[in-house]
């Protein structure tokens, strides 16, 4: 994950490192589910159902740099967990909530 500063707001981009190898891409949902479970456990005292906003990655002009981005995107679209809202970042649908 990396942080990008936008004014005074920091955004986390998650999932791009999983697009390089096929096995990482295929395991994306399992790995993200484990991460989410660990984060919710860590913050259980403050918020047991920690809300999560998942940006579903855009594939536009990114296949060359991220060879398995379509697989990760599909896993993101298929991922389900309580209190997770998805925002589709694909060109033309930016801001649309899915799933």
pLDDT digits (tens, 9 = 90+) for 13-64: 577 777 777 888 889 899 999 999 999 999 999 988 888 888 888 887 777 7
- pLDDT greater at residue 88 or residue 8: 88
Q: Give the contacts of 88 (CB within 8 A, at least 6 positions apart).
A: 56, 94, 95, 96, 97, 98
Q: Give the homologous superfamily in CATH for domain 2-98.
A: SGNH hydrolase (3.40.50.1110)
pLDDT given at position 90: 81
* Residue of 12 and 20 predicted with greater confidence: 20
Higher-pLDDT residue of 2, 37: 37
pTM score, two decimals?
0.74
**Distances in whole angstroms, Cα of residue 96 to Cα of each of 13, 16, 57, 59, 92:** 18, 20, 12, 16, 9
């Amino acid at each position: 994950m990396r942080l990008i500063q936008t004014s005074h707001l920091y955004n986390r981009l998650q999932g791009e490192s999983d697009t390089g190898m096929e096995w990482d891409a295929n395991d994306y949902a399992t790995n993200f589910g484990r991460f989410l479970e660990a984060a919710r456990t860590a913050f259980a005292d403050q918020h047991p159902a920690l809300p999560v906003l998942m940006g579903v990655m855009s594939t536009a002009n990114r296949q060359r740099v991220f060879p398995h981005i379509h697989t990760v995107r599909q896993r993101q679209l298929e991922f389900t967990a309580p209190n997770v809202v998805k925002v589709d970042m694909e060109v033309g649908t930016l801001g649309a909530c899915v799933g």
